[in-house]
A and B are shown apart, each in its own frame.
Chain A
Amino acid sequence: MAILAKDIRSEVRTRAALNAIVLFSVVTLAVVSYATGSFGLSPEVHASLIWIIVFFAAMAGLSRTFVVEAERGTEVALKLTASGTQVFLGKFLFNLVLLGLLDLVLIPLFQILLPIREANWGLLGIGLGLGSLALAASTTLVAAIVAQAGVKGALFTVLSFPILIPVLVAGVSSTRKAMDLAPWADAVTEIQLLVSYAGIMLTLSFFLFDSVWRD
């Protein structure tokens, strides 16, 4: 929890990740809203747009958690004082907080710029929440790998995309069903997939993180 608290305090002061995430969301939604004008979007397009924004906003912001430590040289002090498990948990929870904030900002923004007329809001929220959990679980490990690379650039997105395809597919599907007012039972497969994916990625990350973080 010390690392989570430190990262939140640091983010409040520097806004390195939050600015990137929120600005990306606002700009994308504003552009799409301007382009589509008064045309109502179908649930398929709405769902895809939500997950495109979540994915690219995550790519813009989440890699910063480790890249910033590497670029500023603070990872040496972190390696000297904290175990790999502590670091992984702290960074994972911080990424989860960032994505949670993104979700909280995103839906009201949609309602202002590209209104969702009706939806199974509970299912929409659960789908987004579980998708964010799965995103945070997998991208935390990828961010640690990317931070060790000499050329970081788009490496985070390139490495993350193939890993995140199942999350994006399940996320889009559950969001579309929520907007089609489908009952909960229809989205069980997607929810199971997101929960299993997050569980597997968290377990894998626990085992692999130390070897990525050290040396």
Chain B
Amino acid sequence: MVAIHVEKLSKAFSNRSVLRGVSITIQGGERLVVRGPNGSGKSTFLRILAGLLTPSGGTVRLSTPDGNSGSRDWQRRWTGYLSPDLTLYEEFSALENLEFFARARGLGRNRDRDQGLLGTLGLGDRLHDPLSTLSTGLRQRAKLAFALQGEPRILLLDEPGSNLDQTGRELIARTVRDYADRGSAVVIATNDPLELELGTRTLDLA
């Protein structure tokens, strides 16, 4: 089973401290909700877990299902990340985006797999439309497809329901439960009451 071990994690931007000594272990199958007021470091915490930011102090260690430490390559292959600061290529369709990122991740080209994923997320009839022509909600679904590509063992979702309608929010809830049931470690940064209910554990950031 995959696990994320966070020890005494801290992050400061210039002189402003955002995270101070956060320690937690997130096991596969868990759904951790990270909550806190604006500026408390929820997004920063997820960005560090995703390998996008280097912490100022402390460590993040990944344990892979075979008991090894997760390397950078492993992290790229098996981590799914969705956040408001993530943008896909607007001049490409959702399918073209997935095909490119699959090749970059080393998953190889598999059009049926990518079409199937987009279909389950409600983009089946807009597969070939450039993202720039899609609504904000449909773009959010395309970003979710990016996060779910390759069936990640670690799923990091920052305000996943933003810009989504009721159906989209239900889709997020189903996805979160489904991935945790399959053994993935799911971390959600949110203050949305409905998304808070998805967690089996809560991390409060002051």
The verdict on A73 contacting B86 (CB below 8 Å), with A83-B72, A214-B54 known, is: yes
Q: Which residue of A9, A77, A80 has the most chain B CB atoms within 10 A of its CB atom?
A: A80
**What string of 1s and 0s marks CB contacts (under 8 Å) between A67-87 and chain B?**
000001110111111110010
Nearest A residue to B77, CB-CB: A81
Chain A residues near B87 (CB-CB < 8 A): 72-74, 76-77
Chain B residues near A83 (CB-CB < 8 A): 72-73, 76
**What string of 1s and 0s marks CB contacts (under 8 Å) between B133-156 and chain A?**
000000000000010000000000
The verdict on A80 contacting B85 (CB below 8 Å), with A10-B92, A86-B104, A214-B54 known, is: no
Chain B CB within 8 A of A13 CB: yes
Q: Does B79 contact A6, Cβ atoms closer than 8 Å?
A: no
Q: Does A9 contact B92, Cβ atoms closer than 8 Å?
A: yes
Quick one: which of A30-48 are within 8 Å of B by CB?
none
The verdict on A73 contacting B85 (CB below 8 Å), with A2-B100, A214-B54 known, is: yes
Q: Is the interface of A mostly helix, strand, loop or mixed?
A: helix
Nearest A residue to B107, CB-CB: A81
Instruction: Report the bound CA distance from A14 to B51 in whole Å.
Output: 30
**What string of 1s and 0s marks CB contacts (under 8 Å) between B91-106 and chain A?**
1100010001101110
Cβ-neighbour of B76 out of A5, A73, A81, A215 (below 8 A)? A81
Q: Which residue of B53, B88, B100, B105 has the most chain A CB atoms within 10 A of its CB atom?
A: B100
Cβ-neighbour of A72 out of B51, B81, B90, B96 (below 8 A)? B90
Chain B CB within 8 A of A182 CB: no
Count how many chain B residues have C-beta atoms less than 8 Å from C-beta atoms of the other chain.
Answer: 26
Chain B CB within 8 A of A26 CB: no
Chain A residues near B100 (CB-CB < 8 A): 2, 5-6
Instruction: Report the bound CA distance from A81 to B146 in whole Å.
Output: 10
Chain B CB within 8 A of A181 CB: no
Chain B CB within 8 A of A3 CB: yes
Contact residue range for chain A?
20 to 34
Cβ-neighbour of A80 out of B54, B76, B89 (below 8 A)? B76
Nearest A residue to B147, CB-CB: A80
Q: Does B85 contact A2, Cβ atoms closer than 8 Å?
A: no
Instruction: Report the bound CA distance from A14 to B198 in whole Å.
Output: 41
Q: Does B103 contact A77, Cβ atoms closer than 8 Å?
A: no
Q: Does A215 contact B85, Cβ atoms closer than 8 Å?
A: no
Chain B residues near A73 (CB-CB < 8 A): 85-87
Chain A residues near B85 (CB-CB < 8 A): 73, 76
Q: Does A74 contact B76, Cβ atoms closer than 8 Å?
A: no
Nearest B residue to A79, CB-CB: B52
In the complex, what's the smallest C-beta–C-beta distance from A212 to chain B, in angstroms?
Answer: 13
Instruction: Report the bound CA distance from A138 to B150 in whole Å.
Output: 35
Q: Which residue of A3, A6, A72 has the most chain B CB atoms within 10 A of its CB atom?
A: A6
Nearest B residue to A82, CB-CB: B104
The verdict on A10 contacting B73 (CB below 8 Å), with A80-B50, A80-B52, A82-B104 known, is: no
Chain A residues near B88 (CB-CB < 8 A): 74, 77
Q: Does A215 contact B54, Cβ atoms closer than 8 Å?
A: yes
- Given A10-B92, A72-B89, 20 other A-B contacts at CB below 8 A? A2-B103, A2-B104, A5-B100, A10-B91, A14-B91, A73-B85, A74-B88, A76-B86, A76-B87, A77-B86, A77-B88, A80-B50, A80-B51, A80-B52, A80-B79, A81-B101, A81-B105, A83-B73, A215-B52, A215-B54
Can you report 14 A-B residue pairs in the complex whose CB atoms are below 8 A from each other? Answer: A2-B103, A9-B96, A10-B91, A73-B87, A74-B88, A76-B86, A77-B86, A80-B50, A80-B51, A81-B104, A81-B105, A214-B54, A215-B52, A215-B53
